[in-house]
């Protein structure tokens, strides 16, 4: 297909859009459809996509807001804080960085049935009392949305509903309604009439999201996009979708558990890795204002293989329990199984424990679990993992009023972690009496808790034993 060059009245070169075929696996583009992608060799992965060509507006250098773009010195840029819309859910506001920002686009994903539509319907019902809200559903009928609102006991009299999947029709209705907040459930069901491919494909998701993002920036409307996830847990569709939006939130939680966690993996208006904790009830999602108490609901009897650490999630500390089980193996290769932390990290810690601590586990199966379904990605979990493994291996319980955190290096040194003193204060607030921490994080004076600073793994093992 040839590219036809045009010239507008101002003399700028324009181009008609041409059709490309993009591989949904590797992103390689082709000028015509073939059964196999020439870049990655995958079969039947090419999908039709419209090549974004220059338009009259882009030729006149117009930006999202419809104004002529110009260069501005940094010192002349206003530092006025962006106004925010409260969702009336303090945990969700925390994850968003303080509330919704006008013109922002938030992508929220999670497993089916985990509560994405429920929490957004609760949020819309609260905001609709003071601002115009439009809820666009592409997966359910209006009756189904109304039945859910009635079941949850929500007052949604002022909430506007729309059942539509064509993005051009959605933006036309939105221009008439002029909502302050809009929800699109879900982005995988939305399609544009400019492409012939089926909804949910790479091209359709990217082009539909681009139009919604453009509308949000032009009109100042905050938009929630609901996204499906793949079996690996990643958001379905092109990776560029996460780059186009302002915030990406993930719903986490086990299907058999009533607790749900919303984690911000990207946020242009707040902290990354911020957590919001909720409990699923028959009336929807209820906020958990003190999540540390939930994750530390242990039995009164002391058990082996259990240690408590303080992790830092976003802008607040969180106490979680680390459990380990060490058992003699009958296999040629001992198993290393983890839930809630990186399995490669466990293998590294076991090697350091053997090399610098003199404790071997090459003939033991090691299982490590973070209680409550929390995923800890920071290195401050290292000392707690080693402590729980040692407790299980030696069959010696760690006192329940002890807290342990710190990073372990390959040379056996104990390295400091960010916000060390704030973590110790959080532990003291929950009644812990002793803390084994890196020496660089130990405060000069801390009332209510006995702080034991350590610099090497040998010192940590001595304090534990």
* CATH number of the structural domain spanning residue 281: 3.40.50.300
Among the three residues 259, 289, 319, which one is the final residue of a domain in this structure? 289
Confidence at residue 253, expressed as pLDDT on a 0 to 100 scale = 77
pLDDT digits (tens, 9 = 90+) for 30-54: 888 888 888 888 888 887 766 544 3
User: Which residue range(s) make up the domain with 14?
Assistant: 5-66
Count of structural domains within the chain: 3
Helix ranges restricted to H, 321-456: 343-357, 382-394, 420-429
Same domain, 46 and 156: no
Rank 168-172, 278-282, 293-297 by mean pLDDT and report only the highest.
168-172
pLDDT over 60 (residue 3): no
Confidence at residue 297, expressed as pLDDT on a 0 to 100 scale = 62
At 439, phi and psi to the nearest 5? -60, -35
Distance separating alpha carbons of residues 346 and 13, to the nearest angstrom? 58
What rounded mean pLDDT belongs to the chain? 86
User: What are 321's two structure tokens?
Assistant: 């329990």
Distance separating alpha carbons of residues 267 and 246, to the nearest angstrom? 6
Same domain, 305 and 440: yes
pTM of the full structure: 0.75
Among the three residues 273, 289, 305, which one is the final residue of a domain in this structure? 289
* CATH number of the structural domain spanning residue 389: 3.30.230.10
Helix ranges restricted to H, 220-305: 240-244, 291-295
- Per-residue pLDDT averaged across 324-342, rounded? 92
Same domain, 310 and 282: no
Percent of the chain with pLDDT over 70: 89
Confidence at residue 416, expressed as pLDDT on a 0 to 100 scale = 95
pLDDT over 90 (residue 459): yes
Among the three residues 289, 320, 351, which one is the final residue of a domain in this structure? 289
Distance separating alpha carbons of residues 95 and 263, to the nearest angstrom? 7
CB 66 within 8 A of CB 103: no
pLDDT digits (tens, 9 = 90+) for 211-237: 999 999 999 999 999 998 877 667 766
CB 118 within 8 A of CB 283: no
Confidence at residue 67, expressed as pLDDT on a 0 to 100 scale = 55
Confidence of residue 55 (pLDDT cuts 50, 70, 90): very low
pLDDT digits (tens, 9 = 90+) for 95-124: 999 999 999 999 999 888 889 999 999 999
Confidence at residue 53, expressed as pLDDT on a 0 to 100 scale = 45
Domain presence at residue 32: yes
Same domain, 149 and 46: no
């Amino acid at each position: 297909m040839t590219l036809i060059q045009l010239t507008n009245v101002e003399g700028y070169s324009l181009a008609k859009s041409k059709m490309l075929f993009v591989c949904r696996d590797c992103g390689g583009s082709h000028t015509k459809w073939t059964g196999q992608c020439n870049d990655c060799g995958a079969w039947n992965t090419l999908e039709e996509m419209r090549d974004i060509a220059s338009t009259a507006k882009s030729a006149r250098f117009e930006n999202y807001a419809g104004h002529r773009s110009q260069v501005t010195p940094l010192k002349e840029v206003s530092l006025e804080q962006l106004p925010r819309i409260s969702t009336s859910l303090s945990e969700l506001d925390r994850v968003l960085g303080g509330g919704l920002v006008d013109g922002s686009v938030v992508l929220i994903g999670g497993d089916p049935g985990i509560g994405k539509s429920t929490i957004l319907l609760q949020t819309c019902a609260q905001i609709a009392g003071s601002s115009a809200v439009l809820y666009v559903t592409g997966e359910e009928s209006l009756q189904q949305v109304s039945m859910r609102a009635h079941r949850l006991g929500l007052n949604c009299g002022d909430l506007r509903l729309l059942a539509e999947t064509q993005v051009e029709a959605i933006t036309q209705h939105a221009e008439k309604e002029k909502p302050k907040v809009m929800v699109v459930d879900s982005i995988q069901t939305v399609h544009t009439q400019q492409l012939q491919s089926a909804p949910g494909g790479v091209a359709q998701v990217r082009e539909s999201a681009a139009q919604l993002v453009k509308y949000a920036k032009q009109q100042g409307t905050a938009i929630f996009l609901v996204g499906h996830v793949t079996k690996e847990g990643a958001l379905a569709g092109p990776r560029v979708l996460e780059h186009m939006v302002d915030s990406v939130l993930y719903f986490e939680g086990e299907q058999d558990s009533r607790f749900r966690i919303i984690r911000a993996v990207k946020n242009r208006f707040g902290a990354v890795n911020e957590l919001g904790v909720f409990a699923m009830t028959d009336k929807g999602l209820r906020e958990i204002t003190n999540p540390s108490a939930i994750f530390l609901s242990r039995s009164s009897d002391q058990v082996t293989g259990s240690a408590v650490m303080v992790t830092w999630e976003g802008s607040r500390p969180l106490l979680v329990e680390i459990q380990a089980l060490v058992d003699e193996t009958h296999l040629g290769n001992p198993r290393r199984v983890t839930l809630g932390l990186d399995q490669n990290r466990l293998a590294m810690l076991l090697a350091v424990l053997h090399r610098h601590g003199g404790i071997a586990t090459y003939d033991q199966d090691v299982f490590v679990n973070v209680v409550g379904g929390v995923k800890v990605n920071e290195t401050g979990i290292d000392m707690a993992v080693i402590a729980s493994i040692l407790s299980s291996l030696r069959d010696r319980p760690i006192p329940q009023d002890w807290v342990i955190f710190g990073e372990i290096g390959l040379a056996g040194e104990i390295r400091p972690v960010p916000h060390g003193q704030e973590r110790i204060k959080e532990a003291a607030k929950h009644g812990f009496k002793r803390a084994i921490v890196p020496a660089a994080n130990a405060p000069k004076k801390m009332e209510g808790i006995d702080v034991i600073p350590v610099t090497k793994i040998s010192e940590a093992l001595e304090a534990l034993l």
